[in-house]
């Protein structure tokens, strides 16, 4: 299935945006303002839906006229494009969105035609599927690891690089002892936060992106 | 990056056949894989009748063209990306976009960049679970993780001298994969 590469699912959604000429600020503009205010780091709503590798939301105003002799044409609606790459299956992911970030889903999709709300997650899933466009070709460079596995590997890589640098030239017995401490520290280290963590409370060695 | 190009509907099945072959014959993806700076990319064909209409009050689209949408999540700058695409994947790109109206070809790069600039549209919200790691960093970290797990399993009970030997072998194995991650330098 083209929507899937390995264990990663590539979802493409086109939701028509409500047009209402009688309101002062159009829905597309309000939606853009809201999207601009959303955090993009570990406090992002998509960090809460933790199976998300990468996601984007885009207001598409129109199709593009590439110049004569091509025919010029225009869309009658604007569309919200939601493109996301996540682990697992579609129903689980959309249900997680409805349950874990309902306020964000509501604030985004309330501007879209036919949005049923999130009170009934099954209704939201059905709505999103109506807006889904099948991916024709999907490329995922790493498609056999979850977000958490990638983050954990980055954390180990960072901690190990610090360890090797710090212990360069030390006697073997010392390195062996310190390596045991490193293992304990890694075992106790909190799971890395998706979305990036620059807070001072996290030591540089534990940051998966440092 | 987001881009959309119009295609005459009779060309759409031809492009679908090309994508089918690209998906089925893995060696055709080798250059794309070897470029190793794209986390995820997708091409989505949306036919002129396929734009969702979710209410009778929403006017139905009346279009002559089908459209090819392209979304890419890549590392580095736009110029680096397009330059690399043009230099390394020109034949593949031509095979994909030759069906789109007024596609100038991916070489030479100047008209190709002008074309892309014309048909791309901006992202309003973007989230990345590992924003400071390029796709090469992720792949390197996964190799380090594998080597690390193996080393931990075999080195726990060694004497200091045997540990030293095993540790050195471990370092040789992972040394090329220990580069630090972080914000990419800005370049053009």
Residue of chain B with shortest Cα separation from A10: B42
Question: Among B32, B137, B11, which Cα is nearest to B84's?
Answer: B32
Question: Among B183, B180, B132, B138, which Cα is nearest to A160's?
Answer: B180
Q: A residues 78-137 near B, CB within 8 Å?
A: 79, 81, 83, 85, 112-114, 127, 130-131, 133-137
Q: How far is B188 from chain A (nearest CA, A)?
A: 24
**Closest Cβ–Cβ partner in A54, A71, A141 for B64:** A71
Does B40 contact A at CB distance below 8 Å?
yes
Q: Please tell me the predicted confidence (pLDDT) of residue A204.
A: 56
Residue ending a domain, choose from A131, A159, A192:
A131
Q: How many structural domains does chain A have?
A: 2
Average pLDDT of B30-58? Answer: 90
A188 shares a domain with A97: no
* CA separation for the pair B67, A99 (Å, rounded): 34
Site of tokens 């009346």: B62
Whether A8 is covered by a domain: the verdict is: yes
**Closest Cβ–Cβ partner in A63, A67, A208 for B4:** A63
* CA separation for the pair A209, A198 (Å, rounded): 9
A127 shares a domain with A27: yes
Q: Please tell me the predicted confidence (pLDDT) of residue A59.
A: 97
Q: How far is CA A173 from CA A181, B166, B167, in A?
A: 13, 13, 11
Q: Please tell me the predicted confidence (pLDDT) of residue A22.
A: 80
Domain boundaries along the sequence of chain B? 2-121, 135-177
A122 shares a domain with A152: no
Whether A60 is covered by a domain: the verdict is: yes
Question: Among A132, A71, A130, which Cα is nearest to B63's?
Answer: A71
* CA separation for the pair A114, B55 (Å, rounded): 6
Average pLDDT of B96-115? Answer: 93
Q: A residues 17-46 near B, CB within 8 Å?
A: 31-32, 35-36, 38, 40-41, 44, 46
Average pLDDT of B124-129? Answer: 96
Q: Please tell me the predicted confidence (pLDDT) of residue B188.
A: 47
Whether A108 is covered by a domain: the verdict is: yes
What percentage of chain A reaches a pLDDT higher than 90?
81
Does B123 contact A at CB distance below 8 Å?
yes
The CATH number of residue A77's host domain is 3.30.70
Q: Please tell me the predicted confidence (pLDDT) of residue A176.
A: 92
A156 shares a domain with A122: no
pLDDT at position A210 over 50: no
A43 shares a domain with A126: yes
ipTM, 2 dp = 0.91
A179 shares a domain with A124: no
pLDDT at position B56 over 90: yes
Q: Please tell me the predicted confidence (pLDDT) of residue A209.
A: 43
**Closest Cβ–Cβ partner in A136, A138, A209 for B132:** A209
Q: What is the DSSP secondary-structure string of A28-55?
A: HHHHHHHHHHS--STTSHHHHSTTEEEE
pLDDT band at B74 (very low <50, low <70, confident <90, very high): confident
Burial (0-12, 13-18, 19+ Cβ within 10 Å), B69: buried
Question: Among A135, A110, A140, A137, which Cα is nearest to A27's?
Answer: A110
Domain that holds residue A112: 4-131
pLDDT at position B162 over 70: yes
- What does the pLDDT look like over A65-103, one tens digit per residue? 999 999 999 999 999 999 999 999 999 999 999 999 999
Whether A30 is covered by a domain: the verdict is: yes
**Closest Cβ–Cβ partner in B40, B71, B180 for A210:** B180
pLDDT band at A203 (very low <50, low <70, confident <90, very high): low
pLDDT at position A199 over 60: no
Q: What are the structure tokens assigned to B94, written together?
A: 């031509």
Average pLDDT of A27-34? Answer: 96
- β-strands B125-128, A52-60: how paired? antiparallel
pLDDT at position B122 over 80: yes
- What does the pLDDT look like over A113-143, one tens digit per residue? 999 999 999 999 999 999 999 999 998 888 8
pLDDT at position B185 over 70: no
pLDDT at position A162 over 50: yes
pLDDT at position A200 over 50: no
Whether A141 is covered by a domain: the verdict is: no
Rounded to two decimals, the pTM is 0.91
pLDDT at position A48 over 70: yes
Contact: A63, B67; criterion CB under 8 Å: yes
The more confident residue out of A128 and B37 is: A128
Q: Cβ distance B84 to B90 under 8 Å?
A: no
Q: How far is CA A95 from CA A98, A123, A125, A198, in A?
A: 5, 10, 7, 30
Does B157 contact A at CB distance below 8 Å?
no
A184 shares a domain with A108: no
pLDDT band at B180 (very low <50, low <70, confident <90, very high): confident
- β-strands B66-74, B38-46: how paired? antiparallel
């Amino acid at each position: 299935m083209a929507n899937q590469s390995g264990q990663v699912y590539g979802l493409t959604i086109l939701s028509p945006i409500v047009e209402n000429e009688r309101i002062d600020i159009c829905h597309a503009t309000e939606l853009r303002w809201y999207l601009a205010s959303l955090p993009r780091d570990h406090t992002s709503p998509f960090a809460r839906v933790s199976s998300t590798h990468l996601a984007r939301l885009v207001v598409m105003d129109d199709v593009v006229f590439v110049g004569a002799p091509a025919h010029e044409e225009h869309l009658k609606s604007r569309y919200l494009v939601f493109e996301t790459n996540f682990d697992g299956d579609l129903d689980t992911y959309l249900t997680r969105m409805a349950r874990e970030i309902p306020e964000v889903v509501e604030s985004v999709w309330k501007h879209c035609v036919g949005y049923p709300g999130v009170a009934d997650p099954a209704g939201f899933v059905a709505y999103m599927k109506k807006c889904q466009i099948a991916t024709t070709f999907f490329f995922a460079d790493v498609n056999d690891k979850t977000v958490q596995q990638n983050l954990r590997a980055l954390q180990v890589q960072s901690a190990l690089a610090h360890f090797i640098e710090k212990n360069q030239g030390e006697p073997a017995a010392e390195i062996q002892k310190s390596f045991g401490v490193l293992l304990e520290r890694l075992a106790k280290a909190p799971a890395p936060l998706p979305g990036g963590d620059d807070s001072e409370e996290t030591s540089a060695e534990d940051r998966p992106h440092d | 990056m987001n881009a959309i190009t119009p295609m005459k509907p009779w060309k759409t099945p031809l492009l679908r056949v090309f994508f089918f072959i690209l998906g089925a014959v893995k060696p055709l993806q080798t250059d794309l894989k070897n470029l190793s700076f794209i986390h995820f990319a997708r091409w989505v064909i949306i036919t002129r009748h396929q734009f969702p209409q979710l209410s009778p009050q929403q006017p139905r689209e009346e279009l002559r063209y089908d459209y090819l949408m392209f979304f890419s999540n890549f590392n580095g700058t736009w110029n680096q990306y397009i330059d690399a695409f043009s230099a390394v994947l020109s034949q593949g790109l031509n095979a994909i976009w030759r069906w789109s109206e007024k596609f100038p070809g991916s070489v030479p790069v100047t008209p190709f960049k002008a074309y892309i600039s014309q048909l791309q549209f901006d992202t309003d919200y973007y989230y990345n679970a590992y924003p400071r790691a390029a796709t090469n960093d992720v792949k390197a970290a996964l190799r380090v993780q594998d080597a690390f797990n193996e080393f931990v399993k075999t080195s726990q009970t060694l004497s200091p001298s045997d540990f030293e030997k095993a540790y050195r072998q471990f370092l040789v194995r992972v040394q090329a994969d220990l580069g630090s991650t972080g914000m990419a330098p800005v370049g053009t």
